[in-house]
């Protein structure tokens, strides 16, 4: 596989899903829906997606990641219900919000209810991820919930055989999903935490139908220091030559029509060290104008990679 692949994140009910799925420049779609959809709604949407016969579909499975289910603001404190029952080694603890741009002090944990002193500066919304720092906490229930298991069964029912699993931190996480999807299904294990990196470095074994993803959206927040992303990027591709890299790609397109020079330089570096599968972040994919622009920019990068690397730009004929 030398040609860079482009993967995007969408849900079938998006108005631009069909156009994107049938766009030959798009190789795969990560089906990532809200965590509070009814099972009937999910089945309808998955049926619509699989009927298109377009880009490859990857069904996103929520694992150990902590996301907000309910928000209960009070005058002097904030309570959040999250996706897992947890225990935290030391309290109080700092919890990060908004990709690390906001924070609050966690003072008490009661199963899946987190109680904060005051709260963060900005409003917390359902479905948002949160990060406990330092990440010294344990999940007390099944990483793949009963609700997730039912979503997986719907995906299998309609022929989806590719799955992405969030926050993989040990072989047991992969095994748990493998028992549900079977040996013939492909699993992409998303590495999004320090525990996940430790698993990759010391215990990960490359097997058929199992690959890694350097999931930088969350991993960059989870790392102790920002520059550690460089070593993490190299280590994941060294352990798995088929690894995918996701998020924080072409980010300048969120606010500009023309990408920054750094965007192309980073794509070229990632490709040079071995990455051939790229996944755009949710933010670029939610709006069709941003996604369309991103697909065109990535395709220009791909065309350049496949062309004459030594060819100089053509002389301008204007002016």
Q: What is the pLDDT of residues 76-98, one digit of tens each?
A: 999 999 999 999 999 999 999 99
Q: What is the pLDDT of residue 247?
A: 95
Report how many domains make up the chain. Answer: 2
Whether residues 240 and 277 fall in one domain: yes
pLDDT digits (tens, 9 = 90+) for 140-192: 999 999 999 999 999 999 999 999 999 999 999 999 999 999 999 999 999 99
Regarding whether 278 and 192 lie in a shared domain, the answer is yes
pTM here is: 0.92
- Do 104 and 183 have their domain in common? no
Residue 28 covered by a domain: yes
Last residue of a domain, one of 79, 108, 139: 139
Instruction: Tell me, yes or no, whether 45 and 193 share the same domain.
Output: yes
Same domain for 277 and 213: yes
Give pLDDT, residue 32.
95
Give the pLDDT of residue 135.
Answer: 84
Confirm whether 318 is domain-assigned. no
Instruction: Please report the pLDDT score of residue 317 as a whole number.
Output: 40
If asked whether residues 203 and 273 sit together in one domain, one would say yes
Domain stops at, among 106, 139, 172: 139
Q: Are 154 and 116 in the same domain?
A: no
- Domain boundary, last residue among 139, 165, 199: 139
Residues (pLDDT < 70) of the chain are 1, 308-319
Domain that residue 94 falls in: 68-139
Tally of residues, the chain: 319
210 shares its domain with 99: no
């Amino acid at each position: 596989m030398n040609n860079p692949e482009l993967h995007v994140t969408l849900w079938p009910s998006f108005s631009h899903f069909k156009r994107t799925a049938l766009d030959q420049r798009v190789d795969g779609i990560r089906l990532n829906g809200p965590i509070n959809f009814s099972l009937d709604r999910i089945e309808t949407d998955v049926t619509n997606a699989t009927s298109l016969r377009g880009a490859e579909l990857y069904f996103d499975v929520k694992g150990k990641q902590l996301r907000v289910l309910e928000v209960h603001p009070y005058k002097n404190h904030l309570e959040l219900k999250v996706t897992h029952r947890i225990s935290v080694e030391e309290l109080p603890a700092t919890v990060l919000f908004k990709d690390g741009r906001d924070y609050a002090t966690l003072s008490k944990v009661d199963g899946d209810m987190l109680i904060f002193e005051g709260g963060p500066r900005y409003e917390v919304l359902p479905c948002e991820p949160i990060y406990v720092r330092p990440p010294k906490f344990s999940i007390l229930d099944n990483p793949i919930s009963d609700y997730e298991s039912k979503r997986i069964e719907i995906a299998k029912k309609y022929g989806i055989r590719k799955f992405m699993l969030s926050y993989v931190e040990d072989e047991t996480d992969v095994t748990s999903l493998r028992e549900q999807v079977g040996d013939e299904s492909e699993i992409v294990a998303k590495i999004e935490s320090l525990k996940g990196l430790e698993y990759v470095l010391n215990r990960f074994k490359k097997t058929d139908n199992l690959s890694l993803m350097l999931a930088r959206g969350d991993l960059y927040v989870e790392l102790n220091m920002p520059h550690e992303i460089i070593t993490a990027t190299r280590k994941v591709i060294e352990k798995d030559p088929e690894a995918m890299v996701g998020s924080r790609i072409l980010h300048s397109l969120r606010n500009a029509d023309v990408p920054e020079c750094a965007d192309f330089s980073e794509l070229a570096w990632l490709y040079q060290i071995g990455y051939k599968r790229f996944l755009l972040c949710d933010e670029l994919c939610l709006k069709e104008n941003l996604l369309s622009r991103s697909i065109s920019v990535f395709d220009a990068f791909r065309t350049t990679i496949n062309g004459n690397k030594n060819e100089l730009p053509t002389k301008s004929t204007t002016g």
